[in-house]
Amino acid sequence: MEKINVAPANGKLGVLCIGMGAVTSTFMVGTLMSRKGLSTPVGSLTQLATLRVGKGDQKQFKKFGEVVPLAQLDDIVFGGWDIFPDTAYESAIHAEVLKEKDINPVREELEAIKPMPAVFDHRFVKRLNGTHVKKQATRWELAAEVREDIRRFKEENNCDRIVVIWAASTEIYVPLSKEAHMDLASLEKAMKEDDTTNIAPSMCYAYAAIAEGCPFIMGAPNLCVDMPAMWEFSKKMNAPISGKDFKTGQTMMKTVLAPALKTRMLGLNGWFSTNILGNRDGEVLDDPENFKTKEVSKLSVIETILDGKEYPELYGDIYHKVRINYYPPRNDDKEGWDNLDIFGWMNYHMQIKVDFLCKDSILAAPLLLDLVLLSDLAKRAGKSGIQTWLSFYLKSPMHDLEHKPVHDLFEQFAMLKNEIRRMGGYEADQEVD
């Protein structure tokens, strides 16, 4: 077995978050509280889960951090960008996800986290009006300023390494362009020519992070790094990338229920999903152009797990509908309803109903922590390009044009554990079908 050399997690890890709204502020508060021993990082595999290594008499169960060298919570330094100037404390209070009593113990640290001006283009998020934004003329110049932000933050905070993660709003749908997205030279040309149709603001951040050799994580369904040009660039600059869209509520349930149907060889006629939520994400997704980006992400899950070509009699004609409804009274408390019309023996019809009343940011925060720590690990292990082993955390996992994504949560979990084993010097011994 070839040994993977993983550099130690020495020094401070800078975590730069794009968007400092509900998800990010919840992530920051929980991390700061956990490292003070005032909270438990529930939902985080890197902090709580054990992993089997070895078999038979050699079998052991170890925490992730005992198998591979992970950055410690004490070594994390937070920063980021936002279209509003609120500190992380003000953002956490405004989001109303967490109670004030759970925020105040780390108030001083949160107040010190002040966002840098953001890259913003109102045409990509029409429901928001940013006031704390960069003024450069072209996409290329904007990316250059973000690069300077990263370098300055790293120096001022004495960070050894930086990870950049997108936790901002979903942009309008941007289709893959043959002219701008298929290779690095075309992408850079489009940025220099200020192609505001094909180059979204998120791409400026991704380009800047990769140019600085930083891992980049796309936590929304934006096109962004999901293109051959960015894959090429990330390999060239030895930067791991992952995405797209944090897998939190309804889609997490789909990646559990769909494999259950397939495992039992039960048929599916239709799957109707609808959500209500009232946070900033819900407001943005109330715009049809932004919803289309999310819809494409959500629709891909079922069709990939329940393959109509492989099992035409069971999944050859599924009607799949997804809806998201902006409902301000709920704020961050998202409710997802699912109706499954299934059939079994002798084609007799049955139904499954799921009503998941969840807190979007509470489910997302531990995903951010794990993705940051594991992306940093990937960088220190010499990995670059698409990190398919991180698909477990993502709604619409990135994949190259020659492969299909894995959506089954349990197969994704096996992929994740196998890669941790490999980097820890153990055999990757879980089969993935």
Can you tell me the mean pLDDT for 199-209? 98
Higher-confidence residue of 288 and 53: namely: 53
pLDDT tens readout for residues 216-229: 999 999 999 999 99
Residue 153: pLDDT over 90? yes
SS3 of the chain: helix, strand, coil, percent, to 5: 45, 20, 35
Strand partners, 354: 338
Residue 400: pLDDT over 70? yes
The pLDDT score that the predictor gives to residue 123 is: 95
Domain range 250-358, CATH class: alpha beta
Can you tell me the mean pLDDT for 165-182? 96
Residue 401: pLDDT over 90? no
The pLDDT score that the predictor gives to residue 261 is: 97
Helices 288-305 and 250-264 pack at an angle, to 10 degrees, of 20
Task: Output the pTM of the full model.
Answer: 0.94
CB atoms within 10 A of CB 423: 24
Higher-confidence residue of 433 and 413: namely: 413
d(CA 313, CA 343) in angstroms, rounded, equals 11
d(CA 332, CA 326) in angstroms, rounded, equals 11
Report the helix count and the strand count for the chain, using DSSP H and E: 16, 13
pLDDT tens readout for residues 311-355: 999 999 999 999 989 999 988 898 999 999 999 999 999 999 999
Break the chain into its structural domains and give their ranges.
12-246+362-423, 250-358
d(CA 269, CA 199) in angstroms, rounded, equals 39
The pLDDT score that the predictor gives to residue 297 is: 67
* Residue whose structure tokens are 């594991």: 374
| pLDDT level of residue 298 (50, 70, 90 thresholds) | low
d(CA 198, CA 157) in angstroms, rounded, equals 34
Residue 413: pLDDT over 90? yes
Domain range 12-246+362-423, CATH class: alpha beta
Position 21: which residue type?
Answer: G
| pLDDT level of residue 292 (50, 70, 90 thresholds) | confident
| pLDDT level of residue 1 (50, 70, 90 thresholds) | low
pLDDT tens readout for residues 100-149: 999 999 999 999 999 999 999 999 999 899 999 999 889 999 999 999 99
Residue 358: pLDDT over 70? yes
Show the tokens assigned to 87.
């500190």
Angle at 410 (CA atoms; ends 404, 415), nearest 5 degrees: 60
Residue among 413, 374, 369 at smallest CA distance from 391: 413
Residue 394 contacts residue 242 (beta carbons within 8 Å): yes
| pLDDT level of residue 300 (50, 70, 90 thresholds) | confident
The pLDDT score that the predictor gives to residue 280 is: 78
Residue 433: pLDDT over 90? no
